[in-house]
Chain A
Amino acid sequence: MTLAERCRPDFAILNRRVNGKPLVYLDSAASSQKPRQVIEAVRRYYETTHANVHRSIHTLGEEATALLESVRDRVRQFIGAAQREEIVFTRGTTDAINLVAQAIGRTVKAGDEVIVTEMEHHSNLIPWQMLCRDRGAVLKAVPVIGEGFLDLEAFTRLLSRRTRVVAVAHVSNVLGTINPVREIAERAHAAGALVLVDGAQAVPNLPVNVQSLGADFYAFSGHKMLGPTGGGVLYGRRAVLDSLEPAWGGGEMIKEVWIDHAQWNDLPWRFEPGTPPIAPIVGLGAAVEYLSAIGMEAVAAHERALCRLTLELLAKNGDTTIYGPRNPEIKGAVVAFNVRGLHPHDVAHLLDQEGIAVRAGHHCAMPLMRRLGVVGTVRASFSVHTTPAEIEHLARSLSNLDLMI
């Protein structure tokens, strides 16, 4: 039995029909579907354990706290972090990046520099734009070249003693490019800069080890990796987190409070003000269990094969243009393309008639769209339940499109 065949019964939503056709869900990069193990874990939590965490002395409060904290240990192990104190729970990737921009922002001075790349999702661009605008810092972007790679020579030239942060996607949500994070981090560290990696499209699809990548910060969302919406993770290297003031204030992030000052709590809670998204994090824990039971190497191999098939079949269709690397070995679980003469939204609408869900538009990466010279693209993305037959259905439907509009 293939991986997808084993997984499919876990995803009840795959029984749905859309426009009279079986659902073919090729939009996991926007948000993945949830296996019953995740849905069950959230339901069980609400039905048996729910209470606020950390400050409750009663049984439910203690159990909920233990559950939440056990997910922290599980996530630490999953991404190869050294200590549990390095795992900060957030509402998602966007929340995590804003947290870092806010915390580092306090130390940024006029004339300091932040480097992003042309392929960033807006969530790894706008927080840095806002920071630079507020502090009089300068924002620079590494160009995208060739089939969709970062220009590392240009990057090296952009680096200087003024560079405070380098913010880069591990995997592009459009091109699928797996960026050489380790090399980028080495060069950034040599210049004295910190490195934030947006792992939203990497953690769901590839084995990730934050230590071997050399990331100072690593952000990702639960809902793209089979978990619920509303929960995510910020990994922060201990020494760096220790050096930062909290981003936001509130309950839970303090030890002792007076009217005019307060003493901050220990890590990681110092960066988790307010009631955390307990249920989404419990669900994230179940998603990590689910992916770990399969093994991330196996998940990556499965999605690489789908990527290869998609690239092959689309290349046979003379009317499609593919964006991003053509080599599936160096690509995440997404393929972006356009169909000649058709707007991506019309293509998505047409495919929806066939039950196929794909993403179309700028994918929250407008600077990259401008770089590619397109208004948008169509994007197919894969998960553990995606089958080669579904990809073939996509390719077949694409070859008949023009007749339908």
Chain B
Amino acid sequence: MLYSSVISERFRHPRFFGDLADADAVFEDVNPLCGDRVRIQLKLANGSVADARFKGDSCAICMASADLLVEIARGRAIGEVLALAPDDLLTRLEAKIRPSRITCVTLPLQVLKGALTAVGAAR
């Protein structure tokens, strides 16, 4: 196994890949390393992330990271989501990620926070 069984599984069968009807927040950004694009859509309610989906044409690490992140964020208070750090993802991905690929893990997190900032939820 190249990375980890968590990454392998989420890459092959992502649970939260897709679009959200009438999302409250949409944000996308690009990984400067590879030009990969990740987009996250959010539905917000009562100061929480009610639902979320991601889309992107990206590598296995980035796909798995986005899928995991969306799973973690769903149902959580916005403040908690904003406090998420790369380590929260790295631990649960159960893989040793090389320094050259670390942006593949962090891009989805950056995009998610960007989405919250865009709707002013971050303030």
Which residues on A are within 8 Å of B, measured CB to CB?
A: 342-346, 349-350, 353, 360-362, 366, 369, 375-376, 404-405
Cross-interface CB contact of A361 among B1, B35, B37, B57, cutoff 8 Å:
B35
| A369→B2 contact, CB < 8 A | no
The answer to whether A350 and B34 touch across the interface, beta carbons within 8 angstroms, is no
Does B58 contact A375, Cβ atoms closer than 8 Å?
yes
Nearest Cβ in chain B — how far from A120, in angstroms? 16
Minimum Cβ distance to chain A for residue B84 (Å): 24
Are B8 and A405 in contact (CB-based, < 8 A)? Answer: yes
Q: B27 an interface residue at 8 Å Cβ cutoff? A: no
Assembled-state Cα–Cα distance A346/B58 (Å): 10
Given contacts A343-B59, A343-B60, A345-B104, contact A375 B34 (CB under 8 A): yes
Q: Distance in Å from the Cβ of A145 to the closest Cβ of chain B? A: 23
Q: In the complex, which residues of chain A have a beta carbon less than 8 angstroms from the beta carbon of B58?
A: 343, 375
Asked if B54 is at the interface (CB within 8 A of a chain A CB), the reply is no
The answer to whether B101 touches A362, judged by C-beta atoms less than 8 angstroms apart, is: no
* A349 → chain B closest CB, angstroms: 6
Contact A405 B60 (CB under 8 A): yes
* Cβ contact within 8 Å between A375 and B36: yes
CB distance from B50 to the nearest CB of A (A): 30
Chain A: which residue is nearest B63 at the CB level? A343
Contact B2 A361 (CB under 8 A): no
Task: Say whether A376 contacts B34, CB under 8 Å.
Answer: yes
A405 to B11, CA, bound (A): 9
Q: How many residues of B contact A (CB 8 A)?
A: 17
With a CB–CB cut-off of 8 A, which chain B residues contact A405? 1-3, 8, 11, 60
A375 to B59, CA, bound (A): 10
- For B104, the closest partner residue in chain A by CB is A345
- Cβ A404 vs Cβ B1 within 8 A: yes
Known: A349-B2, A404-B1, A405-B2. A369 touches B35 (CB 8 A): yes
Residue numbers in B under 8 Å from A344 (CB-CB): 34, 59
A-B contact count (CB 8 A): 45
A375 CA to B37 CA, complexed, in Å: 9
Q: A404's closest neighbor in chain B, by CB?
A: B2
Selected from B1, B37, B59, the residue in CB contact (under 8 A) with A346 is B59
9 contacts between A and B (CB under 8 A): A342-B60, A345-B104, A349-B2, A349-B101, A350-B2, A361-B33, A376-B34, A376-B36, A404-B2
Min distance, Cβ B82 to any Cβ of chain A, angstroms: 28
A375 to chain B, nearest CB (A): 5
A346 near B2 with CB under 8 A, answer yes
Give Cα A350–Cα B35 distance, bound, in whole angstroms: 20
Q: Is the CB of A345 within 8 A of B2?
A: no
Q: Interface residues, chain B, CB within 8 Å of chain A?
A: 1-3, 8, 11, 33-37, 57-61, 101, 104
Give the residues in chain B near A346, CB-CB below 8 Å.
2, 59-61
- Nearest CB in chain A: distance from B61 CB, A: 8
Complexed CA–CA distance, A342 and B33 (Å):
17
Per CB-CB distance, the 6 closest pairs between chain A and chain B, nearest first, are A343-B59, A345-B59, A362-B35, A361-B34, A346-B60, A346-B59
Known interface pairs A350-B2, A376-B35, A376-B36; 10 further A-B residue pairs with C-beta atoms within 8 A, sorted by A's residue number = A344-B59, A345-B59, A345-B101, A361-B33, A361-B35, A375-B34, A375-B37, A375-B57, A376-B34, A404-B1
In the complex, A1→B37 CA distance in Å?
Answer: 48
Residue of B nearest to A370 (CB): B35
In the complex, what distance in Å separates the CA atom of A362 from the CA atom of B33?
A: 9
Q: Tell me which residues across on chain B come within 8 A of A360, comparing CB atoms.
A: 34
* Chain A residues, Cβ within 8 Å of B8: 405
Contacts of B1 in A (CB 8 A): 404-405
- The complex places the Cα of A404 from the Cα of B8 at a distance, in Å, of 9
Min Cβ gap B26→A in Å is 20
A353 to chain B, nearest CB (A): 7
- Cβ contacts under 8 Å, A345 to chain B: 34, 59, 101, 104
Smallest CB gap from A350: residue in B = B2
In the complex with contacts A346-B59, A349-B101, A366-B2 CB distance below 8 A: no
Least CB distance from A127 to B in Å reads 19
Which residues of B sit under 8 angstroms from A361, Cβ to Cβ? 33-35
Residues of B within 8 A of A366 (CB): 35
User: Within 8 Å CB of B3, what residues of A?
Assistant: 405
Complex Cα distance, B3 from A353, in Å, reads: 11
Residues in B whose Cβ lies below 8 Å from that of A375: 34-37, 57-58
